[in-house]
Amino acid sequence: MERIRLLIIGGGPAGYTAAIYASRAALAPVLYEGMEPGGQLTTTTVVENYPGFPEGVDANKLMGDMRAQAVRLGADIRRGTVVKADLSSRPFRFTLDGGEELEAESVIIATGAAAKYLGLPSERKFRGMGVSACATCDGFFYRKKDVAVVGGGDTACEEATYLAGLCRKVYIIVRRDVLRASKAMQQKVAATPNIEVLWNCNTQEVLGDDFGVTGARLLRKDGTVFDISIDGFFLAIGHHPNSDLFKEWLETDSLGYIVTDGKSSRTSVEGVFAAGDVQDPTYRQAVNAAASGCRAALDAEKFLLGI
Ligand code: NDP
């Protein structure tokens, strides 16, 4: 069985940054990228708030460059997903999606978070047939059509304004009478003529036929039920940390985020570190994920060197 000194799980800003630092510290990191190399950022277009890019930067280029930097410094970055973890004793043991097994003296978990869905059977039925959790990935298919975005946060507003540039009409389905999004985002939404906010509404059912989504049935707080006619139904209601594999072994909070010790990346198991969105329910931004990947590599270095 292959024995690795430092395993990094996850190919987002946290994982790649951890790989950059760990390579420079000669820890011979092996990184498995999982199913979404580049992480959540690759589902967006231009990143304007990552420092160092006065004109903004294409998200895929940013992630590709982080990866290339880690590889140049010696990180062994591999395609593949860890499907099973045993953190009961050291060396820790892992199984990959191809069935291979490996051992690691230490591990940095940087598996990020995944989009949440409402949980409606009709939503599941039409997933990939008009239901999507990524407007920037799938918006192109709805050019000149009518769509809806569910949610009232920054993601919903950002996705709605993006879609408004492609689509004829964009509804935002908001369950309360306020948006949670930042003032700047709210102003953008208000200034976009083809966006209509449907306040106090919950989705009862996604409507469709053999060809995909045709509408949504909404329930307003006052009890009114009404249908809207749409071709695309986009979810933007937050994220779920990708910690399920590790919950049996590590302390997690009520939402499933991995608990880390103070400002460090140390988890409840010695030699296991967590970085990025999988341990951060609050400051979920790429630059924060990258910074926590750096911390995790420094913590892993101390652990491996016994200092
Ligand atoms: P948020 O948690 O901020 O917002 C989720 C939204 O979805 C809320 O409006 C919430 O409603 C709504 N919601 C949750 N569950 C349901 C449900 N079952 N039915 C209907 N509506 C539901 O998540 P975001 O993904 O928007 O943002 C995550 C973080 O990333 C935030 O900190 C955000 O500021 C940041 N971000 C920043 C961006 C930027 O700066 N460019 C872009 C995108 C995100 P309610 O308000 O009622 O709880």
Mean pLDDT of 82-91: 98
* C-beta of residue 228 within 8 angstroms of C-beta of residue 215: yes
CA of 192 to the centre of ligand 1 (A): 19
The Cα–Cα gap between 110 and 94 comes to: 15
Ligand 1 contacts CB of residue 238 (under 6 A) = yes
Angular region, 247: left φ>0, alpha ψ -120 to 50, beta rest: alpha
What pLDDT, on a 0 to 100 scale, did the predictor assign at position 47? 79
Model confidence at 16: pLDDT above 90: yes
Q: Predicted confidence band at 264 (pLDDT cuts at 50, 70, 90)? A: very high
Q: Of all atoms in ligand 1, which is nearest to the CA of residue 48? A: 41
Ligand 1 contacts CB of residue 284 (under 6 A) = yes
Mean pLDDT of 28-39: 92
Mean pLDDT of 260-279: 97
Ligand 1 contacts CB of residue 197 (under 6 A) = no
Residue-wise burial string across 12-32, b where 16 or more C-beta atoms lie within 10 A, e elsewhere: bbbbbbbbbbbbebebebbbb
Structure tokens at 101: 């097994």
CA of 181 to the centre of ligand 1 (A): 7
For residue 155, the number of C-alpha atoms closer than 13 Å in the C-beta half-sphere is 21
Residue-wise burial string across 121-150, b where 16 or more C-beta atoms lie within 10 A, e elsewhere: ebbeebeebbbbbbbbebbeebeebbbbbb
Q: Residue 217's beta-bridge partner residues?
A: 205, 227
The Cα–Cα gap between 39 and 113 comes to: 9
Segment (H or E) for 102: strand 101-109
CA of 251 to the centre of ligand 1 (A): 25
What pLDDT, on a 0 to 100 scale, did the predictor assign at position 97? 95
Model confidence at 42: pLDDT above 80: no
* C-beta of residue 78 within 8 angstroms of C-beta of residue 31: yes
Which of 237, 240, 284, 285 should be mutated for ligand 1, with most atoms under 8 A from CB? 237
Backbone angles phi, psi at 270, to 5 degrees: -60, 130
Ligand 1 contacts CB of residue 91 (under 6 A) = no
Ligand 1 contacts CB of residue 151 (under 6 A) = yes
Residue 90 is given by DSSP the state: S
Ligand 1 contacts CB of residue 4 (under 6 A) = no
Structure tokens at 26: 């000669």
Active site (catalytic) residues: 134, 137-138
Burial of 197 (0-12, 13-18, 19+ CB in 10 A): buried
What pLDDT, on a 0 to 100 scale, did the predictor assign at position 43? 64
* C-beta of residue 131 within 8 angstroms of C-beta of residue 233: yes
Span 50-79, pLDDT tens digits? 999 999 999 899 999 999 999 999 999 999
Sign of the torsion angle spanned by Cα atoms 252, 258, 262, 265: positive
Residue with tokens 């409840």: 268
C-alpha separations of 134 from 140, 153, 190, 227 in Å: 11, 14, 22, 23
The model's pTM? 0.75
Q: Of all atoms in ligand 1, which is nearest to the CA of residue 176? A: 47
Does residue 240 sit in helix, strand or coil? Answer: strand
Torsion angle, CA of 29/10/290/106, rounded to 10 degrees? -40
Model confidence at 174: pLDDT above 80: yes
Ligand 1 contacts CB of residue 43 (under 6 A) = no
How does the average pLDDT of the chain come out, rounded?
95
Span 146-171, pLDDT tens digits? 999 999 998 899 999 999 999 999 99
If you take atom 38 of ligand 1, which residue's CA is the nearest one? 154
What pLDDT, on a 0 to 100 scale, did the predictor assign at position 149? 98
Size of the chain, expressed as the number of residues it contains: 307
Residue type, 181: A
Span 200-227, pLDDT tens digits? 999 999 999 999 999 999 999 999 999 9
CA of 238 to the centre of ligand 1 (A): 5
